[in-house]
Amino acid sequence: MNLYDLQHSKEAFLTAGDIADILRVDPQSIRNQAREDASALGFPVTRIGSQLKIPRIPFLRYIGLEDTHHDV
């Protein structure tokens, strides 16, 4: 997923794979950090079982972008 796709998506949540290219890290590094100390990531994450979910709008704000969809 690139920045345009991320900003124009209607998805409420992202995965580590969705944001890895944007952060230029391996998706597993995001998962590992979330498991060890999620607060160190700088954006909120939610763990549901073994799945990691990242709220899209707070992540957009973290990287300095805004959501283009205002009808949530």
Q: Is the pLDDT of residue 70 over 70?
A: no
What SS3 state is found at 49?
Answer: coil
The C-alpha atoms of residue 49 and residue 9 are separated, in whole angstroms, by 25
The CA distance from 44 to 48, in Å, is 13
Reduced to 3 states (helix: H, G, I; strand: E, B; else coil), residue 36 is helix
What is the structure's pLDDT at 34? 96
For the chain, where are the alpha helices, taking DSSP H only?
A: 3-8, 16-23, 27-37, 56-62
Q: List, for residues 26-40, the tens digit of each pLDDT value.
A: 999 999 999 999 999
